[in-house]
Amino acid sequence: MNTQSSPVLKNKVAVVTGGGRGIGAAIARRLAQLGAAVVVSGRSLQTLQQTATSIRSTGGIAEPIACDVSQWQSVRSLAEEAKRKFQHVDILVNNAGIGGFASPLHELEVNSWDEILNTNLRGVFYCIKAFAPLLIAAGRGDIVNISSLAGKNALPNGAAYSASKWGLNGLSYSVAEELRKYKIRVSVVCPGSTNTDLSPHEGKDFSRMLQPEDVAECVALIVTQAERAFTSEILLRPTQKP
The one-letter code for the residue type at 1 is: M
The torsion angles phi and psi of 58, rounded to 5 degrees, stand at -110, 15
| Catalytic (active site) residue 161 | yes
Closest CA to 131 of 165, 179, 59, 66: 179
Identify the active-site residue in 126, 161, 173, 182. 161
pLDDT band of 22, cuts 50, 70, 90: very high
Q: Taking the model in full, what pTM does it have?
A: 0.94
Share of the chain above pLDDT 90, in %: 88
Query: For residue range 223-240, what is the model confidence (pLDDT) as tens digits?
Result: 999 999 999 999 999 998
| CA atoms of 3 and 18, how far apart (whole Å) | 24
Kindly tell me if the per-residue pLDDT of 57 is higher than 90: yes
Mean pLDDT of the chain: 94
The phi-psi region of residue 77 (left if phi > 0; otherwise alpha if psi is between -120 and 50; otherwise beta) is: alpha
Label residue 126 by pLDDT band (50, 70, 90). Answer: very high
* Structure confidence at residue 62 (pLDDT): 98
pLDDT at 2 over 50: no
Q: For 180-205, what is the mean pLDDT? A: 86
pLDDT higher than 50, residue 3: no
- Model confidence band, residue 54 (pLDDT cutoffs 50, 70, 90): very high
pLDDT at position 5: 52
Is pLDDT at 4 greater than 50 in this prediction? no
DSSP assignment, residue 38?
E
Our CA angle for 119, 122, 125, nearest 5°, is 125
Closest-CA residue to 15 (of 43, 31, 38) = 38
Residue-level pLDDT at 200 = 62
